[in-house]
Chain A
Amino acid sequence: MIEPVTLGLLLLLGAWAALDTTSAGQFMISRPLVSGTLAGWILGDPATGLLAGALLEGMDLGGVPAGGARLPEPGPAAVPAVLAAVELGGGGGLALGLGIGVVWSRVGGSSMELQRRLNGVVTRGIEEGRITPRGIAVRHWSCLGLDGCRGMVLTALGIASVWALPSSLPEIWPLERGPTAALFVLPAAYSAGSLLRSWRSPLHRGALFLAGLIGGSFLAALLA
């Protein structure tokens, strides 16, 4: 079980990540790479936070949120994912965390749709000029407040789902942490290939990719 202060910080982080997804700022605190690392830092294990966040990020790479597209919301979902990875530990904790992260991203995406419908109800009549400036401001801030609450509730339910897992479940997982992480790189590899395809006409694509491949291998070997 985690300290109340830690829990409070995780809930605030979830709310911030949810707000940052669309409503406020879009500074990309809502990317799982960032929210995951911050959640790990709050829990005292930023390395695990970064690992889980980066794997969730890899699966979501190249998603374009254009024109109100219906997409998952991985930012707040990274918080319970990292909590599971840190608290349960080992390969089992990481795998279950990523599973929770994937499911909670979808739940978050659906809740965002509901939020947008609710915003439509709250702001009804504004475009007809029927609402006073003060009324407009109150409605706008209400929508922002509701979105923050949505993020906090979403994160709280995600954390509760981690606590609800049977304690023996992580022990069943047959892989250590390294091979587990490697396993989840595979779906991310699909997203990466798809992203490369989407950049249709960058200059000298093949040569640049090859140069990067050689350079990356060399750097990783050097830093090993």
Chain B
Amino acid sequence: MKSQRTLLARSFLVQGSWNYRTLLGTGMLWALLPLLRRGDGDETAARARLGRNGEHFNAHPYLTPVALGALGQLERAGEDPERIRRFRKALAGPLGSLGDTFVWAVWRPVCLLVALTLATLAIPPLLVAVAFLTLYNVVHVGLRAWGIRVGSELGFRVSEALRRLRLPHWAERIGAVGVLFLGLLSGALTVRGLELPGWGLPWLLGGATFFLVGFTKGDLFRRWVPALALVSVVGGLLAGLVWPLG
């Protein structure tokens, strides 16, 4: 239990030395250090153990605990090093794609949409931030804790637990909630925008146009979004110079 708690705590810093050569590799090794210090006197084996656990590794950070738990258990059990290495390589891909599909593509934007909707409905600012952090991190911390537990218990068989978790299924369900909140946010913003004297209708038309272009073109023009904001700032200042207020 103590080793699981240590791994969980260290999993929060596993990306601390993220680099383009080993990606998460060195962070994984650092997190596993307390479990790798076996002290059996075999210097060559100890170096090999450190080396293979610091090799290139990439996964979603919230699912990395699955790998940490499993690798820690297998190393302590003294499993065949080559088998551990192959397992480590095989695990990285699924942990990355499952996490990206569920957390980055769905869970985080849905939580943000909930928070933005609350903000538009004039909920007090600090409450909006706290509500977002609480909602988001219940799943975040829960995933990490679950990952350490199933990794430590199942070792080579963690893929069974990952299948049972059905993250793609939940991504689809929670994505549907996200669509609902995107609608709620759009509705609330529409009412707030129409309250602007003289600006309401043109703003609504502009917003609908941008939304539709985003919907039809997807990420095609995404990198121009910040540029558009900057052009708005510069254009507004120039307009203010040409037609000063008052």
Q: Which residues of A contact B (CB under 8 A)?
A: 22-29, 31, 33-34, 37-38, 40-41, 46-47, 49-50, 54, 57-59, 61-68, 72, 95-96, 98-99, 102-103, 105-106, 116-117, 119-120, 122-124, 126-131, 133, 136-137, 139-141, 143-144, 147, 169, 172-175, 178-180, 182-199, 201-205, 208-221, 223-224
In the complex, whether B6 has a CB less than 8 A from a CB of chain A is: no
Which listed residue, B30, B185, B196, B213, touches A179 by the CB 8 Å rule? B196
Q: Across the interface, name the chain A residue whose C-beta is closest to B61.
A: A26
In the complex, whether B41 has a CB less than 8 A from a CB of chain A is: no
Are A174 and B23 in contact, with the CB atoms below 8 A? no
- State which size class the interface on B falls in: 35 or more
Interface of A is mostly: helix
Are B12 and A179 in contact, with the CB atoms below 8 A? no
Are A68 and B18 in contact, with the CB atoms below 8 A? yes
- Do A61 and B193 contact each other (CB < 8 Å), given the known contacts A102-B226, A123-B17? no
Q: Across the interface, name the chain A residue whose C-beta is closest to B222.
A: A194
Pick the 5 closest A-B CB pairs, nearest first.
Answer: A212-B183, A193-B214, A216-B187, A129-B51, A120-B19
A30 to nearest B CB, angstroms? 11
Are B54 and A98 in contact, with the CB atoms below 8 A? no
Which listed residue, B133, B182, B184, B237, touches A219 by the CB 8 Å rule? B184
> Roughly how many angstroms separate A33 CA and B125 CA in the complex, as a whole number?
10
> Roughly how many angstroms separate A197 CA and B175 CA in the complex, as a whole number?
11
Q: Which residues of B contact A (CB under 8 A)?
A: 12-13, 15-23, 25-27, 29-30, 33, 36-37, 47-52, 54-56, 58, 61-62, 96, 100, 104-106, 108-109, 111-113, 115-117, 119-122, 124-126, 128-129, 132-133, 136-137, 140, 172-173, 175-176, 178-193, 195-196, 199, 203, 206-208, 210-219, 221-222, 225-226, 228-230, 232-234, 236-237, 239-241, 243-245
Chain B residues whose C-beta falls within 8 Å of the C-beta of A54 in the assembled complex:
116, 119
Q: Across the interface, name the chain A residue whose C-beta is closest to B26.
A: A123
A29 to nearest B CB, angstroms? 8
Are A127 and B105 in contact, with the CB atoms below 8 A? no
- Do A143 and B17 contact each other (CB < 8 Å), given the known contacts A59-B225, A216-B188? yes
Are B187 and A213 in contact, with the CB atoms below 8 A? yes
A-B contact count (CB 8 A): 353
Given contact pairs A26-B62, A61-B112, a sample of 13 additional A-B residue pairs in the complex whose CB atoms are under 8 Å apart:
A27-B133, A61-B109, A66-B96, A72-B226, A98-B233, A136-B54, A172-B244, A193-B210, A194-B215, A212-B183, A213-B190, A219-B184, A223-B122
Are A219 and B121 in contact, with the CB atoms below 8 A? yes
Chain A residues whose C-beta falls within 8 Å of the C-beta of B185 in the assembled complex:
192, 212, 216
B103 to nearest A CB, angstroms? 9
B17, B23, B232, B239 interface centre (most CB from chain A within 10 Å): B17
Q: Across the interface, name the chain A residue whose C-beta is closest to B204.
A: A182
Are A33 and B54 in contact, with the CB atoms below 8 A? no
Are B188 and A220 in contact, with the CB atoms below 8 A? yes
Which listed residue, A143, A186, A193, touches B212 by the CB 8 Å rule? A193
> Roughly how many angstroms separate A187 CA and B233 CA in the complex, as a whole number?
12
